[in-house]
Homo-oligomer: A and B are copies of this chain.
Amino acid sequence: MASPEFQRVTISGDYCAGVTVEDYEQAAQSLLKALLIREKYSRLAYHRFTRTTARFLSEARNEKWKVEDEVLPDILPYPHEGEDPYSMEGIPDNLNFHLQMKDGIVHVYDDADALREQRPHSLPYPDLETFAVDLSHVLAMIADGPTYVHRTLSTNETPTHRTPNPNPKTHLHHDCQQTDVDTHIHAAACMNQKHLLKFIKSTYQTEEDRVVLEKNGQKMTLKEVFHKLSMDPYDLTVDSLDVHAGRQTFHRFDKFNSKYNPVGASELREIYLKTDNYIRGEYFARLIKEVAKELEDSKYQHAEPRLSIYGRSTSEWEGLATWFIEHKVHSPNMRWIIQVPRLYDVFRSKKLVPNFAKMLENIFLPLFEATVNPQKHKAVHVFLKYVTGFDSVDDESKHSDHLFSYKSPTPEEWTTDNNPPYTYYLFYMYANIMVLNNLRRERGLNTFQFRPHCGEAGSITHLVSAFLTADNISHGLNLKKSPVLQYLYYLAQIPIAMSPLSNNSLFLQYSKNPLREFLHKGLCVSLSTDDPMQFHYTKEALMEEYAIAAQLWKLSTCDLCEIARNSVLQSGLSHQEKKHFLGSNYLQDGPEGNDIRRTNVAQIRMAYRYETLCNELSFLVDAVKTDV
Mark A residues whose CB is within 8 Å of B.
160, 162-163, 165-166, 168, 171, 173, 175-176, 194, 197-198, 232, 234-235, 237-240, 244, 246-247, 250, 501, 504-505, 510-511, 535-540, 543-544, 546-548, 550-552, 554, 556-558, 600
Contact among B238, B250, B535 with A557 in the assembled complex (CB-CB below 8 Å):
B238
- Residues of B within 8 Å of A511, CB to CB, are 511, 552
Contact among B160, B171, B504, B546 with A537 in the assembled complex (CB-CB below 8 Å):
B546
A547 to B536: give the CA distance in the assembly, Å.
8
How far does the Cβ of A537 sit from chain B's closest Cβ, in whole Å?
4
- Residues of B within 8 Å of A510, CB to CB, are 551-552
Q: Quick one: closest B residue to A509, CB to CB?
A: B552
- Asked if residues B552 and A543 are in contact (CB atoms below 8 Å), the reply is no
Q: Quick one: closest B residue to A174, CB to CB?
A: B237
Given contacts A194-B176, A551-B537, contact A247 B160 (CB under 8 A): yes
Given contacts A240-B165, A550-B537, A554-B246, contact A171 B235 (CB under 8 A): yes
- Residues of B within 8 Å of A237, CB to CB, are 163, 165-166, 176, 600
> How many copies of this chain does the complex contain?
2
A511-B552, A535-B551, A538-B538 given; 17 more Cβ-contact pairs under 8 Å: A163-B237, A165-B235, A166-B235, A168-B235, A176-B197, A176-B237, A176-B238, A237-B600, A238-B557, A239-B557, A239-B600, A504-B551, A537-B551, A538-B543, A544-B547, A548-B548, A548-B552
- Residues of B within 8 Å of A558, CB to CB, are 239
A536 to B548: give the CA distance in the assembly, Å.
10
A538 to B545: give the CA distance in the assembly, Å.
10
The binding surface of chain A is classed by DSSP as helix
Given contacts A160-B247, A239-B163, A600-B239, contact A547 B552 (CB under 8 A): no
8 contacts between A and B (CB under 8 A): A238-B557, A247-B556, A535-B551, A537-B543, A537-B547, A537-B550, A538-B544, A548-B552
Q: Quick one: closest B residue to A166, CB to CB?
A: B235
- Residues of B within 8 Å of A194, CB to CB, are 175-176
- Residues of B within 8 Å of A543, CB to CB, are 537-538
- Asked if residues A551 and B501 are in contact (CB atoms below 8 Å), the reply is yes
Contact among B165, B232, B240, B544 with A544 in the assembled complex (CB-CB below 8 Å):
B544
A538 to B538: give the CA distance in the assembly, Å.
9
- Residues of B within 8 Å of A539, CB to CB, are 540
Q: Which of A173, A244, A552 has the most CB of B within 10 A?
A: A552
- Residues of B within 8 Å of A166, CB to CB, are 235, 237
How far does the Cβ of A227 sit from chain B's closest Cβ, in whole Å?
13
- Residues of B within 8 Å of A235, CB to CB, are 165-166, 168, 171
How far does the Cβ of A455 sit from chain B's closest Cβ, in whole Å?
22
How far does the Cβ of A532 sit from chain B's closest Cβ, in whole Å?
12
Contact among B163, B246, B536, B548 with A556 in the assembled complex (CB-CB below 8 Å):
B246
How far does the Cβ of A24 sit from chain B's closest Cβ, in whole Å?
36
How far does the Cβ of A494 sit from chain B's closest Cβ, in whole Å?
27
- Residues of B within 8 Å of A239, CB to CB, are 162-163, 557-558, 600
- Residues of B within 8 Å of A557, CB to CB, are 238-239, 244
A75 to B194: give the CA distance in the assembly, Å.
34
Q: Quick one: closest B residue to A248, CB to CB?
A: B160
- Asked if residues A504 and B544 are in contact (CB atoms below 8 Å), the reply is no
- Asked if residues A552 and B504 are in contact (CB atoms below 8 Å), the reply is yes
- Asked if residues A538 and B547 are in contact (CB atoms below 8 Å), the reply is yes
- Residues of B within 8 Å of A198, CB to CB, are 175-176
A176 to B243: give the CA distance in the assembly, Å.
14
How far does the Cβ of A617 sit from chain B's closest Cβ, in whole Å?
30
A171 to B235: give the CA distance in the assembly, Å.
7
A407 to B501: give the CA distance in the assembly, Å.
55
- Residues of B within 8 Å of A546, CB to CB, are 537
- Residues of B within 8 Å of A547, CB to CB, are 536-538, 544, 548
How far does the Cβ of A34 sit from chain B's closest Cβ, in whole Å?
36
Q: Which of A171, A539, A547 has the most CB of B within 10 A?
A: A547
How far does the Cβ of A57 sit from chain B's closest Cβ, in whole Å?
36
A546 to B544: give the CA distance in the assembly, Å.
11
A243 to B539: give the CA distance in the assembly, Å.
25
- Asked if residues A551 and B548 are in contact (CB atoms below 8 Å), the reply is yes
- Residues of B within 8 Å of A240, CB to CB, are 163, 165
A540 to B554: give the CA distance in the assembly, Å.
19
A246 to B163: give the CA distance in the assembly, Å.
14
- Asked if residues B538 and A247 are in contact (CB atoms below 8 Å), the reply is no
Q: Quick one: closest B residue to A504, CB to CB?
A: B551
A560 to B446: give the CA distance in the assembly, Å.
48
Q: Quick one: closest B residue to A544, CB to CB?
A: B547
- Residues of B within 8 Å of A176, CB to CB, are 194, 197-198, 237-238
A176 to B544: give the CA distance in the assembly, Å.
19
- Asked if residues A232 and B504 are in contact (CB atoms below 8 Å), the reply is no
Report, nearest first, the 10 A-B pairs whose CB atoms are least far apart: A537-B547, A168-B235, A239-B557, A247-B554, A163-B239, A176-B238, A538-B543, A171-B235, A168-B232, A511-B511
